[in-house]
């Protein structure tokens, strides 16, 4: 019975040693990459950004005006039959539940329907909800830019009973509430239908 000499298990030629060294380095590289993907800080999602819009009092407001505040950013339109009033009521209830801490939070209601949502229309509409809500409108281009920054989809509904002359047209729009930090950066989001208590709890942990 013959036993193989130990040297059998070691690469004997320089070429084989080279291959072994490359394999070892590749393995170490993969391990390092794996550790990096697990432990490296995640880049913040690219949501949010600069804007310059007009509030319900006719005053120009930019994103910089709200530094130091947590923002609850919601896009919609005042003629919305269901989703927007429900979400704005939820935001209002969450603000009420926060009590005095709500002073560090500003809900922004940004219209996706600037053709109808003038500052005056926005003012009358948001008067039905929490007094800290800032309603924002602007030019078609300005609204398109801020919606793009927040990855918000919106489009005027076509077909069905709606016609281009119908003043009661509907805007389809995404209804996510974005939570932005005092530095203007994205913190989290709330899906449509999230309860006021859930929002208030999430905010309380940050305030
Ligand atoms: Ni809506």
Q: Which two tokens stand for residue 206?
A: 């940050």
- Say if 148 falls within a structural domain: yes
- Say if 166 falls within a structural domain: yes
Find the farthest-apart pair of alpha carbons in the chain and give their distance in angstroms, rounded: 98
Q: How far is the CA of 113 from the centre of ligand 1 (A)?
A: 10
Q: How far is the CA of 83 from the centre of ligand 1 (A)?
A: 4
What burial letters (b/e) apply to 131-156, b meaning 16+ CB within 10 Å?
Answer: ebbbbbbbeeebbebbbeebebebee
- Return the CATH number at 131: 3.40.30.10
- Say if 93 falls within a structural domain: yes
The strand pair at 134-137 and 105-111 is best described as parallel
Rounded CA-CA distance 63/34 in Å is 37
Q: How far is the CA of 186 from the centre of ligand 1 (A)?
A: 22
Question: Domain limits at 174?
Answer: 52-204
Q: How far is the CA of 170 from the centre of ligand 1 (A)?
A: 9
- Say if 118 falls within a structural domain: yes
Q: Which residues surround ligand 1, an ion (CB under 5 A)?
A: 76, 80, 83-84
Counted domains in the chain: 1
Query: Nearest-CA neighbor of 150 among 49, 58, 82, 78?
Result: 49
Residuewise pLDDT in 10s, the chain (207 residues): 555 555 555 556 777 777 777 777 878 777 776 666 666 666 656 899 999 999 999 999 999 999 999 999 999 999 999 999 999 999 999 999 999 999 999 999 999 999 999 999 999 999 999 999 999 999 999 999 999 999 999 999 876 555 555 678 999 999 999 999 999 999 999 999 999 999 999 999 999
* Edge-to-edge order in the sheet of strand 134-137: 60-62, 52-55, 134-137, 105-111, 70-76, 177-180, 186-190
pLDDT tens readout for residues 22-53: 777 878 777 776 666 666 666 656 899 999 99
Q: What angle (nearest 5°) sits at the alpha carbon of residue 186, between those of residues 153 and 195?
A: 75
- Say if 16 falls within a structural domain: no
Q: How far is the CA of 58 from the centre of ligand 1 (A)?
A: 22
Q: How far is the CA of 34 from the centre of ligand 1 (A)?
A: 43
Beta bridge partners of residue 156, listed in sequence order: 171
Evaluate whether 56 touches 126 at the Cβ level (below 8 Å). Answer: yes
Q: How far is the CA of 56 from the centre of ligand 1 (A)?
A: 18
Q: Which two tokens stand for residue 197?
A: 């208590």
Q: How far is the CA of 157 from the centre of ligand 1 (A)?
A: 12
- Say if 44 falls within a structural domain: no
């Amino acid at each position: 019975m013959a036993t193989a000499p130990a040297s059998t298990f070691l690469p004997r030629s320089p070429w084989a040693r080279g291959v072994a060294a490359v394999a070892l380095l590749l393995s170490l590289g993969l391990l390092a990459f794996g550790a990096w993907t697990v432990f490296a800080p995640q880049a913040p999602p690219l949501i949010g950004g600069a804007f310059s819009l007009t509030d319900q009092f006719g005053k120009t407001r930019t994103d910089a005006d709200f530094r130091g505040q947590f923002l609850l950013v919601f896009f919609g339109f005042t003629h919305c039959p269901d989703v927007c009033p429900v979400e704005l009521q939820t935001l209002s209830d969450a603000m009420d539940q926060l009590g005095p801490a709500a002073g560090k939070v500003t809900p922004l209601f940004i219209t996706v329907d600037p053709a109808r949502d003038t500052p005056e229309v926005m003012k009358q509409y948001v008067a039905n909800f929490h007094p800290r809500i800032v309603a924002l409108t602007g030019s078609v281009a300005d609204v398109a830019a801020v919606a793009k920054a927040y990855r918000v989809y919106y489009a005027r509904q076509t077909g069905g009973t709606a016609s281009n002359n119908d003043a009661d047209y509907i805007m389809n729009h995404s209804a996510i509430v974005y939570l932005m930090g005092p530095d203007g950066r994205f913190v989290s989001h709330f899906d449509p239908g999230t309860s006021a208590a859930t929002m208030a709890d999430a905010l309380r942990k940050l305030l």
